[in-house]
């Protein structure tokens, strides 16, 4: 627990507000944002951020200190490989983008993120390599994702239903894989 008198003394001498003092002198975490919009504070808290609010202040501190319980990277269960990679994607987007970056070390590898689902606010990323994936394909995927109007997206199968060309086609128009090496190869072929 902090000594409140010490905080008050330092605040009166060196800082404009308690929020500024806490940000610069008390907290030791890296990702701190000062926010004035209460809707943004609520949205960030719902995604695992920590908010610090002080009495009488019109601003809040948002701290990216997420500690979700996550599954470790395991062998693929459905797409077994004798010689290839023994890694599979997890439920954590940050882990999955890191797995792809490990496979594709091209600075033009791009991840464009958006949230889908009125209630679930599920984070989704479009992954592609600039200069390889056709721009019209990237735009088409973005448009299809932005047109999705649903309350909940719980996994990739929900997205597939919304974005595939013709669900009754004999040939798949949307692919999915649990293996980062397979997805990396598809991205390097110009898919997104």
Is residue 184 in a domain? yes
Same domain, 51 and 107: no
Same domain, 26 and 110: no
Same domain, 48 and 117: no
The 10s digit of each residue's pLDDT in 140-182 is 999 999 999 999 999 888 888 888 877 677 777 788 888 999 9
Same domain, 135 and 59: no
Same domain, 38 and 107: no
Which pLDDT score is estimated for 24?
65
Higher pLDDT, 96 or 10: 96
Is residue 83 in a domain? no
Is residue 74 in a domain? no
Is residue 80 in a domain? no
> Angle at the Cα of 147 (from 145 to 149), degrees rounded to 5?
100
Number of domains in the chain: 2
According to DSSP, the residues that pair with 52 across neighbouring strands are: 61
Torsion on CA atoms 159, 45, 33, 24, rounded to nearest 10: -150
The 3-state secondary structure of the chain reads CCCHHHHHHHHHHHCCCHHHHHHHHHCCCCCEEEECCHHHHHHHHHCCCEEEECCCCCCEEEECCCCCCCCCCCCCCCCCCCCCCCCCCCCCHHHHHHHHHHHCCCCCEEEEEEEECCCCCEEEEEEEECCCCCHHHHHHHHHHHHCCCCCCCCCHHHHHHHHCCCCCCCCCCCCCCCCHHHHHHHHHCCCC
80, burial (CB in 10 Å: exposed 0-12, middle 13-18, buried 19+): exposed
Domain boundary among 46, 64, 82: 64
Match 């692919």 to its residue by tokens: 175
Is residue 69 in a domain? no
Between the two ends of the chain, the Cα-to-Cα distance in Å is 50
Is residue 167 in a domain? yes
Which pLDDT score is estimated for 73?
75
Is residue 76 in a domain? no
Same domain, 58 and 114: no
Q: Name the percent of the chain lying above pLDDT 90.
A: 30
Is residue 31 in a domain? yes
Residue 52: give the domain boundaries.
Answer: 4-64
Same domain, 106 and 59: no
Same domain, 103 and 174: yes
Same domain, 48 and 108: no
Phi, psi angles (nearest 5°) of residue 82: -80, -45
Which pLDDT score is estimated for 46?
82
* C-alpha–C-alpha distance, residues 110 and 137, integer Å: 14
Average pLDDT, the chain: 81
Which pLDDT score is estimated for 149?
94
């Amino acid at each position: 627990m902090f000594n409140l008198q010490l905080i008050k003394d330092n605040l009166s001498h060196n800082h404009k507000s308690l929020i500024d003092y806490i940000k610069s002198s008390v907290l030791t975490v890296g990702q701190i944002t000062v926010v004035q919009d209460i809707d943004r504070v609520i949205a960030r808290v719902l995604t695992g951020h920590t908010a610090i609010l002080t009495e009488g202040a019109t601003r809040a501190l948002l701290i990216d200190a997420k500690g979700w319980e996550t599954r470790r990277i395991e062998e693929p269960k459905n797409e077994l490989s004798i010689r290839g990679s023994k890694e599979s994607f997890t439920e954590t987007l940050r882990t999955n983008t890191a797995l792809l970056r490990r496979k594709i070390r091209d600075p033009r590898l791009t991840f464009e993120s958006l949230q889908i689902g009125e209630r679930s606010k599920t984070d989704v990323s479009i992954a592609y390599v600039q200069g390889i994936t056709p721009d019209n394909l990237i735009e088409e995927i973005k448009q299809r994702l932005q047109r999705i109007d649903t309350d909940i997206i719980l996994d990739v199968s929900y997205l597939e239903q919304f974005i595939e060309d013709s669900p009754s086609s004999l040939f798949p128009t949307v692919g999915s894989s649990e293996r980062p090496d397979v997805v990396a190869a598809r991205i390097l072929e110009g898919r997104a």
